Structure formats: C-alpha cells, structure tokens
C-alpha cells in the first residue's frame, strides 16, 4: 500500500493498529487528523493519490468572516474560530492570504432588509461589518452599481492548497500516517473498537482503531450508511449541488478592488454569484448552484455560459454585459439543505454501539467548510479525546 508514513512518535493503545482512523483527506479530514495527532496515533485514508481532490480544491478560496450563519449555529461558531486560526497561520507565513475585504451589495431597495439582517447578525457574532455611505462606496468601487453596501473588512482570499499542506505537515510531525489510493469501504464492531475495511485496489485489509471519523465529503452519507447509520431516518441524506465558475473575457481585473457579493435572497441555499479576486488578482464569477438529479462526480462544464450567470453579475457590475463569459472550473457541494429547505447546519454525529462508542460522521459540510475546517478539527478532536480516555 502507498503510505505516507512519518516516524511514529507514539504507539496506539494496546491491541489497536491506530487510536483513530479518518476517512478523507480534504480540509476537514486533515484538520481532524492534525488535531487528534497531538494526543493519539492517527491514520488518514484517502481514495485519491493526493489530498484535497474534492471540494477542498474546487471552491472560491474565500476566508469567510462569518456573517451569514444563524447565531449559535455550528457554521457561525466554526467559521469565526476557523478563520482566526487560518489568519494566525497566515501571519506566521504558513499560508498565503490576501485581505481583500468584501462588499455585500443591494441593487434594489427590496434587498435592504437582507443587508440590514446580515449587519445585525454580524454585530451579534462580533464580526466586523459597516454599512457604508453610498458616496464612499462609489468612490471605492466606481464600476459597481448598488443602492447600499455592507463592508466586511475581515473577509480574505487564501491559498487552500497551502492549508492542506500545513495540516498534512502537522499530522506528519506528530507521527500520524496518510494512506493514499485507498478507500474505506465499511466499519465493523471490534472488541471495544472498530475494524475498518480498507481497499487499495489490490488488496482488502482490516485496520483496527478505537475511533473512526468519517470526513468523506460527498460520500459521507453513503459511508455512514455502510457503517450502520440510518441516514434517511435521521434526515441526513446529502444533496449534491454543482457550482460552476466563469471568467469574463476582456474584462480588466482592475474593474473591482474588493470581493463583491450580492445581497442574499431569503431562504437562499448559496451566497449568490459573486466576484472573486484570487490571490494573483485575477477575476472569476460564480459559483452557480445546480442540484444534481443523479450522483455523478462530473466536473465538466457547459461550453456556453448560461445567460442567467452574466445577468446575475451584470445586476451589480453592468460592464459584465459587454463580455463573453468563458468556463473556468467547477465544484460540487455536499448539502443537507434541499432546494426547498431552510438553513441546515453542519452535522457532527457521534454514534454508540453497546458500550463501544467511537464513530463520528461529519455530514453537510458545505460552505463555509473550508474556512471552518480548523475549528471543526478541534471540535472533533475533543470528542475523540473523550472516547479514548
């Protein structure tokens, strides 16, 4: 098997190959493993040949300030805490980050309530926002059309790959292992723990551990089901929502100097088609939101950009109408919120079987999952600590 093995610093509890096995080397699985590796022996098992082949490398790379999520939700709490951790690593020079700030703009008076609601939530959460004087906004973003703008100085863009590298290095430094090109196929009860079936294409093996953490992203619900969780009864079936990004040929990147987001409509299941300035200062627009009828991990894009995308951008950036939008990249979200549903939070499910607890399943880790990942890792590590003690 193709193992990325560091010199073990500590042994797993007697009779077990590892203290904890984690399925999935996305931002969330690596964050969980990194935090657990400080007190226990961990193994991460990843289907692909490297880390971050799923949503963690197919997103806007926006470090969200944390203004969109209901007060007391896991999303709000983990977003703010995770953002602070990533800012700290960036200030230490581990992660390239550009503090662009962002404007959320209302283009119609009917959107003002939504902007005020965001401002109010942010104030309660201790996230900095400011309703900007329109003259000041027009001076800062002369090409953006708005009737009101909310300024979020704590929003940034950052290098998600650097975050994945940092988390992998933390795991390695603490003696943890990452096994690539291998799939977790299921989990059975072992004496006081779990027996995890791993298939690397050539052989099927069984790895024993006290705790199992499912961070399989799009496949987290199907893996949970294989582990005996009644996903449908618990209303934890994930919806796959595809998001495409586009570039506007001929539009100079200097047309905006901050991230621009539309005011979110009520009951929205995404933040809307926004303008992202990446670390290099290049512009892209997206992501769209299309709930997939069939689960097919297909990242191809339509050759032609739907008119609705350009129209959505042109509402706040009229010059978008003059440009041809060309496909860039795409990602697929793992969402608990169906098309007609209200807000759904991250779910971290710990299951118990007899007196042997220790399965943890992470479901619906959609946006702001990348920003929140370090905090989710800390939270899961606390659960694992209580299992091991």
Ligand X SMILES: Cc1cc2nc3c(=O)[nH]c(=O)nc-3n(C[C@H](O)[C@H](O)[C@H](O)COP(=O)(O)OP(=O)(O)OC[C@H]3O[C@@H](n4cnc5c(N)ncnc54)[C@H](O)[C@@H]3O)c2cc1C
Q: Indicate which single residue of 12, 20, 27, 115 sits in contact with ligand X (rule: CB under 6 A).
A: 27
Does residue number 55 form part of the binding site for ligand X (CB under 6 A)?
Answer: yes
Residue choice 58, 210, 274, 361 for contact with ligand X (CB under 6 A): 58
Residues 277-306 that bind ligand X (CB under 6 A): 287
The residue among 45 and 380 lying less far from ligand X, judged by its C-beta, is 45
Residue 7 CB, shortest distance to ligand X, in Å, is 24
| Residue in the block written with tokens 């590298």 | 165
- Name the nearest CA neighbour of 112 among 147, 78, 86, 142: 147
Query: Based on CB atoms, which residue is closest to ligand X, 64 or 247?
Result: 64
Q: Three-class SS of residue 57?
A: helix
Q: How far apart are CB 50 and ligand X at their closest, in Å?
A: 9
The single residue among 16, 41, 64, 273 that binds ligand X, judged by CB under 6 A, is 64
Q: Residue 148 or residue 262: which is nearer to ligand X going by CB?
A: 262
Q: Which residue carries 């200097």 as its tokens? A: 254
Shortest separation between residue 47's beta carbon and ligand X, angstroms: 4
Report d(CA 214, CA 345) in Å as an integer. Answer: 17
Using the minimum distance from each CB to ligand X, give the nearer residue, 146 or 348.
348
User: Do residues 324 and 249 make contact, with C-beta atoms less than 8 angstroms apart?
Assistant: yes
Q: Which of 66, 193, 243, 358 binds ligand X (CB under 6 A)?
A: 243
Tell me how far the alpha carbon of residue 275 is from its chain's centroid: 18
Tell me the C-alpha distance between 60 and 103, whole Å: 15
Of residues 85-124, those binding ligand X (CB under 6 A) = none
Residue 310 contacts residue 349 (beta carbons within 8 Å): no
Judged by CB under 6 A, the stretch of 101-109, 128-136, 214-222, 290-298 that binds ligand X is 214-222
Q: Are 302 and 245 in contact (CB under 8 A)?
A: no
Is 150 strand, coil or helix?
A: strand
Among 19, 21, 34, 60, binds ligand X (CB under 6 A): 60
Residue ranges in 124-183 that form contacts with ligand X under rule CB under 6 A: 183
Choices 27-35, 101-109, 131-139, 314-322 (CB under 6 A): range interacting with ligand X: 27-35
Pairing verdict, β 156-158 and 148-152: unpaired
3-state secondary structure of 282: coil
The answer to whether 111 touches 119, Cβ cutoff 8 Å, is no
β 18-23/204-214 pair status: parallel
Name the DSSP class of 12.
Answer: P
Binding span for ligand X by CB under 6 A among 52-60, 110-118, 145-153, 298-306: 52-60
Q: Which stretches of the chain bind ligand X, using CB under 6 A?
A: 23-29, 45-48, 52-56, 58-62, 64, 183-184, 215-219, 223, 243, 287, 331-333, 365-371
């Amino acid at each position: 098997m193709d193992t990325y093995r560091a010199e073990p610093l500590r042994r797993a509890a007697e009779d077990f190959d590892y203290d904890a096995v984690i399925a999935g080397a996305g931002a969330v699985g690596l964050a969980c493993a990194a935090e657990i590796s400080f007190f226990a022996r961990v193994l991460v098992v990843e289907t692909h040949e490297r880390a971050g082949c799923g949503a963690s490398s197919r997103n806007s790379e926006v470090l969200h300030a944390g203004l969109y999520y209901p007060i007391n939700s896991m999303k709000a709490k983990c977003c703010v805490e995770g953002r602070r951790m990533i800012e700290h690593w960036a200030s230490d020079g581990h992660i390239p980050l550009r503090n662009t700030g962002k404007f959320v703009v209302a283009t119609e008076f009917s959107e003002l309530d939504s902007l005020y609601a965001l401002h109010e939530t942010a104030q309660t959460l201790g996230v900095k926002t400011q309703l900007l004087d329109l003259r000041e906004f027009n001076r800062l973003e002369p090409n953006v059309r708005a009737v009101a703008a909310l300024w979020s100085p704590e929003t940034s863009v950052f290098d998600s790959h650097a975050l994945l590298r940092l988390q992998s290095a933390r795991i390695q430094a603490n003696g943890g292992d990452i096994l690539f090109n291998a799939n977790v196929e299921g989990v059975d009860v072992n004496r006081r723990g779990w027996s995890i079936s791993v298939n690397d294409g050539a052989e099927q093996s069984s790895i024993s551990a006290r705790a199992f953490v499912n961070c399989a992203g799009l496949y987290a619900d199907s893996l949970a089901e294989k582990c005996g969780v009644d996903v449908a009864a618990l209303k934890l079936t994930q919806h796959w929502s595809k998001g495409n990004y586009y570039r506007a040929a001929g539009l100079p990147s200097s047309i905006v100097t901050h991230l621009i987001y539309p005011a979110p409509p009520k009951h929205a299941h995404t933040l809307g088609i926004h303008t992202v300035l990446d670390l290099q200062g290049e512009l892209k627009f997206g992501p769209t939101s299309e709930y997939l009828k069939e689960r097919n991990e297909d990242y191809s894009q339509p050759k032609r950009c739907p008119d609705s995308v350009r129209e959505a951008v042109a509402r706040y950036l009229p010059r978008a109408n003059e440009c041809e939008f060309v496909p860039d990249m795409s990602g697929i979200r793992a969402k608990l919120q169906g098309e007609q549903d209200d807000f759904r939070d991250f779910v971290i499910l710990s299951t118990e079987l007899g007196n042997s607890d220790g399965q943890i399943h992470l479901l619906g880790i959609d946006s702001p999952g990348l920003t929140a990942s370090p905090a989710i890792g800390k939270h899961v590590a606390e659960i694992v600590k209580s299992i091991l003690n």
